[in-house]
Amino acid sequence: MNHKDLLGAAILLLIAGAYYWATMRIPFSTLDDGVGSRGFPLVLTVALVIVATALAVRAVTRVPAGICNQDDAKEAEARWPRALGVLAFGVLYIPASVVLGYPLALFLLLVAVPLYEGLRFSWRVLAVAAGGAAIFYVLFVIVLGVRQPESLLF
């Protein structure tokens, strides 16, 4: 059992509880739309609980650290540079969305990150990226009504 991950999961659950408590203190407004002022914070609370639960399950079911091979050791050494590379994709996403538009920039981001992480290019990468971009577009633009800025191309 990984005690650090289990502790991290417990801390995330505490944060989720505090976030939920703060969300419930948001007053209702006559200007609220269908989602309301509590809608998005509640979604974030649920997401925190899901992440904390997944982290706890992983902590309990993970193979002990003494039973790892050399590939796992190389993987552990490369965490910071890889994380900075993914961060760079996030930073590049912002100007890309200004030029290409939200859906196309998100699609390219969802293609680039798995390729950067070592996944081979295939039709599945394109299909998952297209589906992910479509889901996020529907969720934010259509369902939640979050207006995306206009881009230079689209």
Cα(70)–Cα(88) distance, rounded to whole angstroms?
28
pLDDT at 77: 57
pLDDT greater than 70 at residue 127 = yes
Nearest to 41 by CA among 21, 55, 56, 13: 21
Q: State which amino acid sits at residue 39.
A: G
Question: Do the Cβ atoms of 152 and 104 come closer than 8 Å?
Answer: no
pLDDT greater than 90 at residue 151 = no
Helix (H, G, I), strand (E, B) or coil at 36: coil
pLDDT at 126: 93
91-119 as b/e, with b when 16 or more CB fall inside 10 Å?
eebeebbeebbbbbbbbbbbbbbbeeeee
Q: State which amino acid sits at residue 101.
A: G
pLDDT greater than 70 at residue 35 = no
Cα(53)–Cα(61) distance, rounded to whole angstroms?
12
pLDDT greater than 80 at residue 142 = yes
Q: Which DSSP category does 27 fall into?
A: P
Mean pLDDT of 128-138: 90
Confidence class of residue 68 from pLDDT cuts 50, 70 and 90? low
What are the sequence ranges of the domains in the chain?
Answer: 1-62, 70-154
Confidence class of residue 108 from pLDDT cuts 50, 70 and 90? very high
Mean pLDDT of 84-89: 85
Mean pLDDT of 108-123: 90
Q: Give me the half-sphere count of Cα atoms (radius 13 Å) on the Cβ side of residue 97.
A: 16
